[in-house]
Amino acid sequence: RGDCFEGRALIMATGARPERLNVPGEARLTGYGLSYSATTHAGLFLGKDVAVVGVGRRAQWAAADLAHKAHQVYLLAPGSLPDTPLVHKLRKMQNVEIAEGVAVKEVCGERFVDGIVVTATEGEEPGERRIPVHGVFVKLPRTPNSELVQAWVDCDRHGHIAVDVHCATSWPGVFAAGDVTLVSEQALVHIGEGAKAAISAYHYLLMH
């Protein structure tokens, strides 16, 4: 609202915002089979068929984790998957099906997710395909909410605030924790990082 606050230390814990699919059914079924966190919700889909949407490391790890819990995992990659050891392992898993160069058109279901509609954008004949699944995990890139300090605190090319082991940034008295950094995606780790940032800020104040 334009308010101004003054302090001798600052802790940035502004998180990151997930990229949305922006397709029919996504908003309505979020929390009803559609999730942005495989770590949190994978256990709800034991023995069921699920889809993971994404191409990067987050999507690959989610698919690998879900393969040990779900019955069948569909990794739906908007582009081509990189040539990495993890991708090689995924290609060999019996219950993982990889579809590259596909775009999600709709998340289906009345009260809960019961399918996802995709269409080929490259490499295959154009055409829609409906995949019956009970869970959809959206693992597209997350954008860190670091705009407040990007002009004067060191960030990586994606906008994550760079921190040291004490959660200190490149600017004295400024600390950061959570998804706005690139330390982890686990909530429990974030809690610890937040506590560490608070202790570091307190020590900074004692010295100044």
Position 205 pLDDT exceeds 60: yes
CB 60, CB 85: distance < 8 Å: no
Mind listing the pLDDT tens digit for each residue in 82-118? 999 999 999 999 999 999 999 999 999 999 999 999 9
The structure tokens 């582009």 sit at 79
The C-alpha angle 101, 102, 104, rounded to 5 degrees, equals 155
Neighbours of 76 (CB within 10 A): 27
Q: Cα separation of 115 and 134, whole Å?
A: 7
Position 124 pLDDT exceeds 60: no
When pLDDT is averaged across residues 131-150 and rounded to a whole number, the result is: 95
Position 183 pLDDT exceeds 90: no
Position 127 pLDDT exceeds 80: no
* pTM, full prediction: 0.80
The encoded tokens of residue 151 equal: 């002009």
